[in-house]
Amino acid sequence: MATKKQFAALPFRVRGSDLDVLLITTRRKRRWSLPKGWPIGATKPHRTAEIEAFEEAGLIGKAKAKAIGRYKHCKSRGKRKVVCDVSRIPAESP
């Protein structure tokens, strides 16, 4: 099994004294997920997270440059299983 990198946005917004974490659902299995994707060329990880949040959920905001955590995610690519090391990057939505 190969290990690849992905970057995920942890989108949130602050309204008054409330903090809302925004999640998306996956298309096939309808599970809750974070917008995430593969690195984009020479694009910095936090910018990749912003792009993925917009493409997958229509979210517009600013991502922080420093990741706040990581997790492993296993996905299938054809007949191969790929383990992804995903960095979570906080992204504030207006």
Q: What percent of the chain has pLDDT over 90?
A: 47
Domain that residue 65 falls in: 2-92
Verdict on whether the full-model pTM lies above 0.85: no
Domain count, the chain: 1
Mean pLDDT score of the chain, rounded to an integer? 88
Per-residue 3-state assignment (H helix, E strand, C coil) for 54-86? HHHHCCCCEECCCCCEEEEEEEEECCEEEEEEE
* Alpha-carbon dihedral angle through residues 16, 23, 69, 46, given to the nearest 10 degrees: -90
Per-residue pLDDT for 39 more than 90? yes
Binned at pLDDT 50, 70 and 90, residue 18 comes out as very high
CATH of the domain at 87: 3.90.79.10
CA distances from 3 to 11, 42, 59, 81 (A): 25, 19, 28, 9
Interatomic CA distance for residues 62 and 30, integer angstroms: 26
Interatomic CA distance for residues 78 and 59, integer angstroms: 30
